Amino acid sequence: MFQIIKDPSQSMLDSLWAEVTKTAICHDCGVKPGQPHKDGCDTARCLNTGMQRLQCDCGKCGEDVWTGIWPGIKECYEKRLVCFDTATNRVCFDLNRQCVEFQLECQRKQRNEKASAA
Ligand SMILES: [Zn+2]
Ligand SMILES: [Zn+2]
């Protein structure tokens, strides 16, 4: 269960942000924030074209550094979307709400995925 935390304090937001950006490892190649992605990582972007590095062959892709920031986390921070996870007893960024309230595109996509899964 996720309980919405209304009006979280700035210090709560800041400590959450610090925790997320410090501890998140890349889900594909496993590097820590501040380290460059390994070869073949599907999260790494080409610094030259902005494409997924796996699919880019421009030869100047460079070393994309993992920032530890997942898509949506920054928006949650800026819009102060925080929830409390009763399963883990932890406060976390409310990515679901961020998705629902601010990314209609994302909602549509989820519906399509559900439809195609059914
Ligand atoms: Zn990676
Ligand atoms: Zn490239």
Task: Summarize pLDDT for 55-73 with one digit per residue, the tens.
Answer: 999 999 999 999 888 778 8
Distance of CA 92 to the CA centre of its chain: 12
CA of residue 61 to ligand 1 center, whole Å: 14
The environment of the single-atom ion ligand 1, i.e. residues with CB closer than 5 A, is 26, 28-29, 37, 41, 43
**Shortest CA distance to 27 belongs to which of 18, 17, 38?**
38
**Shortest CA distance to 87 belongs to which of 5, 3, 4?**
3
CA of residue 57 to ligand 2 center, whole Å: 5
CA of residue 57 to ligand 1 center, whole Å: 18
Residues 18-39 have a mean pLDDT of 91
Model confidence band, residue 101 (pLDDT cutoffs 50, 70, 90): low
